[in-house]
Chains A and B, each alone.
Chain A
Amino acid sequence: MIDIIIGALATFGALFVLFAAIGLVRMPDTYLRISVTTKAATLGVGLVLMSTTVYFSNADVTSQAFVIILFLLLTAPVSAHLIGRASYFIGVKLWDKSVMDELRGKYQKNTHILKSIVDDTPEDNVDHTKMDDK
């Protein structure tokens, strides 16, 4: 019975990691790839670590695995936001079928401050339609 629980948890974890890898290959855009990375892979690795806690059923391993899961759950959104912000600043193009860019003209190019409205100084703003370098 314990073996079935361990096998099921490991199976779902490996499947979610595989879905994250397929999404990383198949998604058309850097931002969509970041989204796949931070959701599916965290859930998959968390499930595999849960299977180790069921196998050992030991206070040391359980606390250690929960520390790793908590750390992954805390740091995955932070790192995804940081790399998404940096890739927006260095001019990574959005998918050409994207319907809208909510951040167009709201990031300041020099100070890296996010404004809530588009003002009348467009030369200071990050605009992907006018950006040609990588």
Chain B
Amino acid sequence: MTLFEYLHYIILPVLVVSAVLILWRFIKGPSIADKIVSLDLLITTGIGVIAVYSVIYNQSTLMDTALILALIAFLSTVALSYYLEKRKRK
């Protein structure tokens, strides 16, 4: 088994299974804070998937997308928690 087969048939399914579990928490989540946390974790898992794909396809340019996704995850979490906190402050 070469490295690419290992990444393609072992590592990527593990990441996809974890993404499905996180998505289940996003759909189920009792409070809105759970949904925000699971969205953040879903984007972080997406960074890992992009890194594995950049190794499989030998394209280092895909790491740019991972950097942008990391920025967007932090920004969305900060903005959503800011407005969530502001909603109660009257």
- A residues sitting closer than 8 Å to B (CB atoms) are 3, 6-7, 10-11, 13-15, 17-18, 20-22, 24-25, 30, 33-34, 37, 41-42, 44-45, 48-49, 51-52, 55-56, 58, 60-61, 64-65, 67-68, 71-72, 75, 78-79, 82-87, 89-90, 92, 110, 112, 134
Q: How many residues of chain B have a CB within 8 Å of chain A?
A: 52
Q: Which of A49, A58, A112 contacts B60 (CB 8 A)?
A: A58
- Bound together, the chains give a CA A99 to CA B37 distance in angstroms of 24
Q: Decide yes or no: A65 and B63 within 8 Å by CB, A41-B41, A112-B89 being known contacts.
A: yes
B55 lies within 8 A of A6 (CB): yes
Nearest chain-B residue to A126 (Cβ)?
Answer: B88
B24 lies within 8 A of A25 (CB): yes
The tally of CB-CB contacts under 8 A between chains A and B is 162
- B residues sitting closer than 8 Å to A (CB atoms) are 2-3, 6-7, 10-11, 14-15, 17-19, 21-22, 24-25, 30-34, 36-38, 40-41, 44-45, 47-48, 51-52, 54-55, 60, 63-64, 66-67, 70-71, 73-74, 77-78, 80-82, 84-85, 87-89
